[in-house]
Each structure stands twice: as C-alpha cells, then as structure tokens.
Amino acid sequence: MKLIHLSVSASTSVLKGCRGWRLPVAGLLLALLSACSGGANKPKPAELQSVVPVVPVQQVWSARLGAVNFPMTLSVSGSTLFAAASDGVVVALDARTGRDIWRLSLATPLAAGVGSDGRIAAVVTQNNELVAIVEGREVWREKLSAQAYTAPFVAGGRVFLLTADRAIHAFDGNSGRKLWTQQRPTEPLVLRQAGVLLAVGDTLVAGLAGRLTGLNPANGSLRWEVPIASPRGINDVERLVDLVGPVSRLNDILCVRAFQASVGCVNAERGVLQWTKPADGSVGLDGDERLVFAVESDGKVVTWKRADGESGWSSEKLRFRGLTAPRVVGRSIAIGDASGFVHLLSREDGSLMNRLTTDGSAIVATPTLAGETLLVVTRAGTIFGFQPQ
C-alpha cells in the first residue's frame, strides 16, 4: 500500500479543520491542504507579556549549522552534541563551548535527525539511505525500503531505525549488515514527524501507529504491546494515531503522546498501561517525578499528574505561537516558538520565569540539555547554548 506523508505543520491544521470529510486516499493530501489550511482565519498568536527574569540565563555560545527543514532531533552523549542540517552537514560539537569536534558534509539532503551513542552517529538521507559516521568519517551506507522521519537510535553496537512503513530495522553498527526487521501492519497515512524509538533496560521500545511496543533488541521478537490510542473516525486522516516524540521517562515509566488523540503512561518493564487521557496535541512531552508537561495544538500548555493522569495546572499565555515540545530545565520547562523565542515556565504553576531570544526564525527541535547547557536550534540553522545561572 502506498503511504502518504503528512508534514507536522500541515497535518495539525488539516486534522483540526476537516473532521468528517469522506475523500479517497489517492489525492487526499492535496485536497485537504488546498481546502483546509485556514488561510485568513488562522488564529492570531498570543501577544507576549513583559517578563522579569526569575531564573537568570546567559547565552554562552552560538554555532552555525545550516538550514533545518526536516524533523530535527538532537543527540547528546556526555558533553558532545550531535546535530545535522538539511543539506547533509553533520556535526559533533562540544556542548560546553560550541566548538566543532568534527564536521562532515554528506553532500546529500537529509530526512531525519541524528542519533548517536557517542561513537557512532547515524542519519537518514532523502534517498532512503541510512548512513553511519565515526569520528567524522562515513563508515557505511545502507539502502532502506522506505523513508524514515525518526532519528536512528544507536545502542549496544547496533543502529535501530523506525521507517514510515511501520517497520523497525536493526543494523550492525560496525559493518551496516542488517540483523533483523520487525514489520507491523501499515496504514495509508503517516506523519512526517519524529516518532518514538528508545531503550528501557534491555527492551527496545518503539511507537507503531497508536501502540507502544517492546521488542527484544537481539532478534526483534515482540515482548509486549500497549495501545495508547485506537483509530477512530470515518476516513484515513481521522484514523491517524501515530505516537510522536519526545517522551517523558522516569525510571521504567514512559509517558507518550498519540498524535491529536491522547497521552498515556506505560510501565515499560512489564508492558502495562498505567493511564491514558484524551489530548489534542501534535508534539511530544516531558515530565518530572510529579507532573507530565505537554503542549496542545492551540498552544495551551497543560499538565497531568504522573501517578494517575489527573489534570494539573494549565497556561494559555503562549496560545497559537507554534510551540515545540517542552523540556524540563531545573525549576522550569523550556518551550520554543515559531518566532525564535524560548519561554521558561515554572514547573510548579506555569508562571513565566524568563524568555530567551535567538535569531528570529522558528525553533525546530525540542530544547535539549547537555549537562548544565540548554541547547536550541533554529530553522535558519543556528545552534545556541544557554546556561541558567
């Protein structure tokens, strides 16, 4: 079955504005984008309030990467940051100083962000190739059966990849030899957005449609499967329930989002669902020992109690500002917006604690921590390093 890919920016407005349409899958994307994009009716972003910094933050460095137009995921190993640009430039930077450790141009456009275990870095090209890099040198390149929008996950000397045809692949990190593939049922629509792929203990955990799935990383055999959301509605758009990253992990408990359907928490050691709640968002989440933090499609920041899923505080200060997923940073959560600002909100009540400026282009990746440095990447291709004081 041929897959149709929805971009995250288009899919959010499409799915919000076109519930109930009956259209054939062929040509579905074109029809929806032309008829339902919102145009002049697009909501006006909330005006920014003045802020007295409660948490002092200093920009300590910036580095040029290159424009980013794909689902960006940053990878951090110790004090090393791995990042990639759309034109195929892959870099390893010292997250403390912003200085290059190495920089490599693959001379081919990329489709997904970079994953690394600190030694092997891996990216996916628009030509459906998985490329492995060690110390700034390409060491192997393997052709894929489908495109990938989720950054590779590198662990235990292996490179794992989630492709858009709902397959998970494992490759030997040194040679690129394919070790196994786990293929799950496919649907005609997938998101052009980073999904869920990580390890919890000795289990490889992946998001496959609306299910969180635990696999044996040695052979790909299924250990458990937990539904976070089930397909609903009468057409393929309404039935799209992909899980999106990032996730919130606390020990063995993973809390995840199903695209514009729900959030839920799962015990990933036993493969047991703890709770789910309806939620209308398109980006992943983060959390601490008490709360799970998330951003809804309209820019409302919401929280749930991690223990039982009951509602916590919410904030409408950043509505319609094109927000990233949140990242816990000390006493605050950091959220980027489409105007290049990074907002720090209190973990306790959502009050504004600071606002950081970048280059004025959209923040394209969830803000990421490397030690005490907060890392931010813009669409124009600048990486910023900030340090809360």
Q: Contact 121/113 with Cβ under 8 angstroms?
A: no
pLDDT higher than 90, residue 149? yes
Three-class SS of residue 36? helix
Give pLDDT, residue 11. 41
Amino acid in position 366: T
CA geometry: angle 293, 299, 302, nearest 5 deg: 30
Tens digits of per-residue pLDDT, 65-88?
A: 999 998 888 999 999 999 999 999
> Phi then psi for 41, rounded to 5 degrees?
-85, 5
Q: Contact 275/309 with Cβ under 8 angstroms?
A: yes
Fold of 4-52+73-325: Methylamine Dehydrogenase; Chain H (2.130.10)
Under the banding of pLDDT at 50, 70 and 90, the label for residue 21 is: very low
Q: Contact 306/328 with Cβ under 8 angstroms?
A: no
Joined together, the tokens standing for residue 28 give 């579905």
Tens digits of per-residue pLDDT, 242-285?
A: 899 999 999 999 999 999 899 999 999 999 999 999 999 999 99
Query: What is the number of other CB atoms lying within 10 angstroms of the CB of residue 137?
Result: 9
Strand segments, DSSP code E, in 3-119 are 4-7, 57-64, 75-77, 80-84, 89-94, 100-105, 110-116
pLDDT higher than 60, residue 345? yes
Give pLDDT, residue 16. 41
Q: Considering the entire predicted model, what is its pTM? A: 0.89
Q: For residues 208 and 141, what is the distance between their CA atoms, to the nearest angstrom?
A: 25
Under the banding of pLDDT at 50, 70 and 90, the label for residue 24 is: very low
Q: Contact 193/136 with Cβ under 8 angstroms?
A: no
Amino acid in position 90: V
CA geometry: angle 161, 242, 382, nearest 5 deg: 65
Residue 221's nearest CA partner among 189, 187, 180, 277 is 180
Q: Where are the domains of the chain?
A: 4-52+73-325
